[in-house]
Amino acid sequence: MKLLDAAGLSVSFDGIEIFSGVDFSIGAGELVGLIGPNGAGKTTLLRTLSGLLAYNSDKVHFLGQPLSDINRKQLARDLAYLPQGNESHWPVTVDALVMLGRLPHSNPWRGPSTKDHEIVRQVLQACDVSQFAKRSVNTLSGGERARVMLARVLAVEPRLLLADEPVTGLDPGHQLDVMERFRQLSDLGMGIVIVIHDLTLAARYCHRLVLLSEHKVVAQGRPTEVLSSQNLARCFDIRAHIGSAEGRAFVVPIERC
């Protein structure tokens, strides 16, 4: 089933073109990696897909309806967006912050329900941050905070998750945990789009990769097809070793070319 479908997306800021003519779609149960060099417009594409940029919202269709026609409160339950930067403006406790992810589902006149508490407990565990539950977010390290923010966005329990660099800043163990979790969620039917710079993780876990560069989609498809020597040279200006060990693909950048 198609969750999100967008055709002919074009964005420019102050006359500077970010990208144009970009088509993008994702179905239920798909884990899509958005890759590309800095400044290629990955974040802008994600923001466009989430409806944050108003002027393309008629071209993005969620479950067949243009974003501009969907009630925002309704959309917030089905589509979750994790911005880059992991900012928390007040030093609230971790569990209180993660509970914010339940806002689209909760009744304004009641406190959080038993179900909300249960879901928060689950996502805290899934992101391995239960042990900090009562600590204030500003006492956490960058990687720990990134996991807390991920827990927050997972607490929404959306049908489509758009996450901007969810594994950046995480240690290798937690990177694997998070990617495994994404795979589990997509197996359960969630559509997930992540912006990711770690090409090895992208190759191993994503069903499909979209390579954004030169203001357009340069390549998309199965990770092994997208991560070709030619594409890496063309878009990232690197020569890389693409291989596999123990049956799993890896990409190691060697040098600038």
Partner 1 sequence: MTLRDLPGRWLTFNQTLLFTVLFCLVLLAFVGSLVVGPSTVGWKELLGILFGNEYGPTRMILLEIRLPRALLGLMIGITLGLSGAALQGFLRNPLAEPGLIGVSASASFGAVVMIYTGLSGLFALALPLGGILGALVAVFLVQLISGRNGGTLRLILAGIAVTSFASALTSVALNLSPDAFAALEIMFWLMGSLADRSFEHVWLSLPFMMIGWGLLLNLGRSLDALTLGEEAAYSLGFDLKRIRTLMVIGIALSVGAATAVSGTIGFVGLVVPHLLRKWVGHKPSTLLLASALGGACLTLIADIAVRIFSPGQELKLGVLTALIGVPFFLSLILQTQKNLP
Task: Tell me if 183 contacts partner 1 by CB under 8 A.
Answer: no
Q: Are strands 16-27 and 2-13 parallel, antiparallel or unpaired?
A: antiparallel
The residue written with tokens 């406190």 in the block is: 111
Report the length, in residues, of the chain: 257
**C-alpha angle 121/125/130, rounded to 5°?**
80
Would the CA dihedral through 43, 46, 48, 51 be positive or negative?
A: negative
Q: Least distance to partner 1 from the beta carbon of 197, Å?
A: 20
**How many residues make contact with partner 1 (CB under 8 A)?**
40
> What tokens appear for 59 in the block?
């071209």
Q: Name the segment binding partner 1 (CB under 8 A); options: 29-37, 70-78, 166-174, 210-218.
A: 70-78
Q: Least distance to partner 1 from the beta carbon of 113, Å?
A: 6
What is the strand order of the sheet 65-66 is part of? 16-27, 2-13, 60-62, 65-66
Q: Name the segment binding partner 1 (CB under 8 A); options: 31-39, 86-94, 186-194, 243-251.
A: 86-94
Q: Least distance to partner 1 from the beta carbon of 139, Å?
A: 10
Q: CB-wise, 192 or 232, nearer to partner 1?
A: 192
Distance, CA of 187 to CA of 183 (rounded, Å)? 6
Angstrom distances, CA of residue 32 to CA of 2, 119, 122, 131, 210:
13, 25, 24, 30, 7
Among 28, 92, 242, 249, binds partner 1 (CB under 8 A): 92
Residue 151: CB partners within 8 Å, gap ≥ 6?
98, 101, 120, 123, 124, 126, 127, 129
Among 2, 5, 25, 52, binds partner 1 (CB under 8 A): 52
Q: Name the segment binding partner 1 (CB under 8 A); options: 20-28, 109-117, 184-192, 202-210.
A: 109-117
Q: Least distance to partner 1 from the beta carbon of 50, Å?
A: 6
Chain residues binding partner 1 by CB under 8 A are 47, 50, 52, 72-77, 79-83, 85, 87-93, 96-97, 100-101, 103-104, 108, 110-114, 116-117, 136, 149, 152, 156
